[in-house]
Chains A and B, each alone.
Chain A
Amino acid sequence: MEHVNRDPKETRPAVLTMALVLVLGLAGLFGPTVSEAAVVGVTATPGVRSVPLGRAGNVAMVWNVTRDVSTGGGATVSSASGSFRAGSPTGTLLATVARPLSQTRPPVGVTIFAFRESVLVPSRVIYRAHKLGVDRIYFVRSFDDGVAASTGAVALSITGSGAGSFGVTRLALSFGDGSVIAVAQPDSPLQAVAQITVSGSGLLQAVWEVADAAGTAGTPAFRPLQTVRRYVNGREPLRLESPPLPTRLLGLHLVRLRITQPAADFELPQLRYFVRAESAQAPVAALSLEAPAPDAVLQAETEFAWRAVPETRAYRLEIRALDDDGGRATTGLVVDGRRSAASLSAVTRDHLRAGGRYRWRVLAIDDQGRVVARSDWREIRTP
Chain B
Amino acid sequence: MTGGGRDNFRRPWWQGACCAGLFGAGLMGLCLPAQAVEHDAAVLLDAPDGLRRPADPLRLRIPGFTADTRARFVIELDDVDVSDVVEAVDGVLLLRPVQALAPGMHTLRLVENTPEGEIIERGAWRFEVRASAWFREARGGVDGSFSAIGRVAVSGLEETPDATQSEGAAQLQGVLADGAWRASASADLIHHSDPAQLPRGEGVVDLGDFIIEGKRGAWRAALGHQSPAENSLIVQDLRRRGVAAGYGGRDDAVRVTAFALRAQEVAGFQGGLGTGRTDNRISGVTLGSRPLAVADGAMVVSATWLEGRDPGQDGEGVGGESGPVSAGRAATVAADGQWLDERLRLRTELSETRFDFDGDGGEAPEQDRAATALLTWKPLADDDAAGESTDLLLGIERRRLGTFYRSIGDPAGVADRDLLRAFGEFARAGWAVQASLGEETDNVNDLPQLPRIRSVQSSLSLAWTPMAAETETETGEAVTPWYGQPAWSFSYVDYRQEVEREGAGLKAGRYRATRTLALSASFSYAAWSWGISHTLGGEDDFAGTGASSDNTMTELAFNLDAESGLSLGINLQRSITRDRVAGIDNTTDTLGMDVAWPLRDDLAATLAMAYNSDSSSDGSMAVRSFDVSGALRWTLREANEERPGLSLSVDWQHQRQRDAVDPEADTRSNQIFFRLTMSWASNQ
Closest B residue to A185 by CB, please name it: B143
Q: Which of B81, B100, B151, B158 contacts A369 (CB 8 A)?
A: B100
Whether B197 sits at the interface, judged by CB under 8 Å, is yes
Cα(A108)–Cα(B533), bound, Å:
50
Query: Is B265 interfacial (CB-CB < 8 Å)?
Result: yes
Q: Which residues 191-224 of A have a CB within 8 angstroms of B?
A: 195, 197, 200-203, 205, 207, 212-219, 221, 223-224
Of the candidates B168, B190, B320, the one whose C-beta lies within 8 Å of that of A181 is B190
Q: Chain B's nearest CB lies how many Å from the CB of A376?
A: 11
B303 to chain A, nearest CB (A): 23
Contact of B98 among A174, A342, A369 (CB under 8 A): A369
A347 near B111 (CB under 8 angstroms)?
Answer: yes
The residue from A55, A56, A182, A313 contacting B209, defined by CB atoms under 8 A apart: A182
Indicate with 1 or 0, residue by residue over A242-275, a CB within 8 angstroms of chain B CB atoms: 0100101111100000000000101111111011
Residue total for A at the interface (Cβ-Cβ under 8 A): 127
The distance from the CB of A93 to the nearest CB of chain B, in whole angstroms, is 13
**B369 touches A (CB below 8 Å):** no
User: Judging by beta carbons under 8 Å apart, are A277 and B677 in contact?
Assistant: yes
B577 pairs with A205, CB closer than 8 A:
yes
Contacts of B631 in A (CB 8 A): 214, 248-249
Chain B interface mostly helix, strand, loop or mixed?
A: strand
Question: What's the nearest-Cβ distance from chain B to residue A371, in Å?
Answer: 8
Contact across chains for A281 and B681 when beta carbons are under 8 A apart: yes
- The 4 A-B pairs of least Cβ separation, nearest first, read A162-B453, A277-B679, A160-B442, A170-B320
Q: In whole angstroms, what is the CA distance A266 to B608 when docked? A: 30
Q: Residue-by-residue, is B435-452 near A (CB-CB < 8 Å gives 1, otherwise 0)?
A: 000001111100101111
Contacts of A365 in B (CB 8 A): 98-99
- Asked if residues A221 and B505 are in contact (CB atoms below 8 Å), the reply is no
Query: Restricting to B419-461, which residues have a CB under 8 Å from any CB of A?
Result: 440-444, 447, 449-455, 457
Structural contact, B324 and A277, CB atoms closer than 8 A: no
Residues A163 and B442 in contact in the complex (CB < 8 Å), given A249-B606, A266-B320: yes
- Residue in chain A with minimal CB distance to B654: A221
Contact with A along B291-320 (1 / 0, CB 8 A): 000000000000000000000010011111
Residue B590, interface by CB 8 Å: yes
A269 touches B317 (CB 8 A): yes
Question: When the two chains form their complex, are residues A201 and B98 in contact, meaning their CB atoms are under 8 A apart?
Answer: no
Residues on the B chain within 8 Å of A182, using CB:
188, 208-209
Cross-chain contact B357 with A123 (CB below 8 angstroms) = yes
Flag whether A288 is at the interface (Cβ < 8 A): yes
Question: CB < 8 Å: which of B154, B503, B594 contacts A246?
Answer: B594
Q: Contact check, A163 vs B55: say whether CB atoms are below 8 A apart.
A: no
A174 vs chain B, min Cβ distance (A): 6
Whether the Cβ atoms of B588 and A314 lie closer than 8 Å is no
The 18 sampled A-B contact pairs (Cβ below 8 Å) are: A48-B505, A159-B450, A179-B225, A183-B170, A201-B495, A213-B651, A219-B671, A223-B608, A226-B573, A249-B606, A249-B651, A250-B147, A251-B167, A271-B317, A274-B208, A280-B641, A329-B80, A336-B84
- Would you call B545 an interface residue if the criterion is a C-beta within 8 Å of the partner chain's C-beta atoms? yes
Interface contact B535-A229, CB-CB below 8 Å = yes
B23 to chain A, nearest CB (A): 38
Q: Is the CB of A217 within 8 A of B412?
A: no
A197 to B321, CA, bound (A): 11
Query: Which residues of the other chain, A, contact B512 by a CB distance below 8 angstroms?
Result: 201
User: Which stretch (A31-39, A78-86, A124-132, A143-151) binds chain B?
Assistant: A124-132
CA distance A235 to B675 in the complex (A): 48
Chain B residue at smallest Cβ distance from A318 = B80
The distance in angstroms between the C-alpha atoms of A55 and B641, with both chains bound, is: 55
Return chain A residues, CB-CB under 8 Å to B167: 217, 251-252, 274
Q: How far is the CA of A207 from the CA of B625 in the complex (A)?
A: 14
Interface assignment of A293: CB less than 8 Å from any CB of chain B: yes
Q: Mark B165-196, 1 if CB is under 8 A from A, else 0.
A: 10111110000000000000000101010000
Task: Check if B509 is an interface residue, CB within 8 A of chain A.
Answer: no
Contact with A266, one of B313, B361, B537 (Cβ below 8 angstroms): B313
- The distance from the CB of A73 to the nearest CB of chain B, in whole angstroms, is 23
Interface residues of B in 533-559 (CB under 8 A from A): 535, 537-539, 544-547, 549, 551, 553
Answer yes or no: B271 CB below 8 A from chain A CBs: no
- B652 CB-CB contact with A under 8 Å: yes
B376 sits at the interface (CB 8 A): no
Question: Taking A162-B416, A203-B539, A314-B85 as contacts, is the C-beta distance between A157 and B79 under 8 angstroms?
Answer: no
B149 on the A face (CB < 8 A): yes
| B residues near A54, Cβ cutoff 8 Å | 357, 403-406, 415-416
B267 within 8 A of A: yes
- Indicate whether A55 sits within 8 Å of B144 (C-beta atoms), given known contacts A123-B357, A266-B322: no
A66 at the B interface (CB under 8 A): no
Instruction: Give the residues in chain A near B377, CB-CB below 8 Å.
Output: none
The answer to whether A250 touches B577, judged by C-beta atoms less than 8 angstroms apart, is no
Does A178 make an interface contact (CB < 8 A)?
yes
| Contact between A227 and B82, CB atoms less than 8 A apart | no
Residues from chain B with a CB closer than 8 A to the CB of A336 are 84-85
Cβ of B645 < 8 Å from any Cβ of A? yes
Give, as a whole number of angstroms, the nearest-CB distance from A211 to chain B.
9
Q: Check B239 for interface membership: any CB of A closer than 8 A.
A: yes
Q: Would A174 and B317 be within 8 Å (CB), given that A183-B169, A197-B412, A334-B84 are in contact?
A: yes
- A276 an interface residue at 8 Å Cβ cutoff? yes
Q: Which of B267, B414, B639 contacts A234 (CB 8 A)?
A: B414
| A contacts, CB < 8 Å to B | 46, 48-50, 52-56, 120, 122-124, 127-128, 130-131, 133, 135-136, 157-163, 165-166, 169-174, 178-183, 187, 195, 197, 200-203, 205, 207, 212-219, 221, 223-227, 229-231, 233-237, 243, 246, 248-252, 264, 266-272, 274-281, 288, 290, 293-295, 313-314, 316, 318, 328-336, 339, 342, 344-348, 350-351, 357, 365, 369, 371, 381
| CA A205 to CA B586, docked complex, whole Å | 11
Is A169's CB under 8 angstroms from B199's CB?
no
> A123–B321 contact, CB under 8 A?
yes
A234 to B639, CA, bound (A): 51
Q: Which residue of B lies closest to A322 (CB)?
A: B382
Question: In the bound complex, what is the Cα–Cα distance between A250 and B652 (angstroms)?
Answer: 12
- Asked if B531 is at the interface (CB within 8 A of a chain A CB), the reply is no
Distance, CA A46 to CA B326, complexed state (A)? 32
Task: Decide yes or no: A250 and B416 within 8 Å by CB, A160-B453, A163-B442, A280-B641 being known contacts.
Answer: no
Are A181 and B451 neighbours in the complex by a CB distance under 8 Å? Answer: no
Q: How far is the CA of A131 from the CA of B239 in the complex (A)?
A: 34
Neighbour of B467 across the interface among A159, A195, A271, A293, CB < 8 A: A293
Q: Given the interface contacts A181-B267, A183-B171, A201-B497, does A158 sit within 8 Å of B608 by beta carbon?
A: no
Please tell me if B478 contacts chain A, counting CB pairs below 8 Å. yes
Q: A217-B651, A231-B514, A336-B85 are in contact. Are A288 and B478 (CB under 8 A)?
A: yes
Output the least CB separation between B643 and chain A (Å): 10
Checking A124, A235, A236 against B358 with a beta-carbon cut-off of 8 angstroms, the contacting residue is A124
> Contacts of B100 on A, CB cut-off 8 Å?
369
5 more A-B residue pairs beyond the given contacts A216-B197, A331-B79, with a C-beta to C-beta distance below 8 A: A180-B317, A231-B537, A274-B208, A280-B681, A335-B85
Q: Is B526 an interface residue (CB 8 A)?
A: yes
CA distance A179 to B161 in the complex (A): 29
Residues of A within 8 A of B457 (CB): 233, 235
What 1/0 flags go to B187-226 for Cβ under 8 Å of A? Answer: 0101010000101000000001100000000000000010
A249 to B605, CA, bound (A): 10
Bound CA span A217–B161, Å: 7
What residues on B are CB-neighbors of A331 within 8 Å? 79-81
Q: Is B585 an interface residue (CB 8 A)?
A: no
- Select one of A203, A274, A348 contacting B169, CB under 8 A: A274
CB atoms of A280 and B640 under 8 A apart: yes
Which residues of chain A are within 8 angstroms of B491 by Cβ–Cβ distance? none
A203 with B537: CB separation less than 8 A: yes
Q: Cβ of A163 and Cβ of B639 under 8 Å apart?
A: no
- The reply to whether the CB of B113 lies closer than 8 angstroms to some CB of chain A is yes
For residue A200, give the distance in angstroms from its CB to the closest CB of chain B: 7
B649 contacts the other chain (CB 8 A): yes
Contact residues in A for B143 (Cβ distance below 8 Å):
276, 279
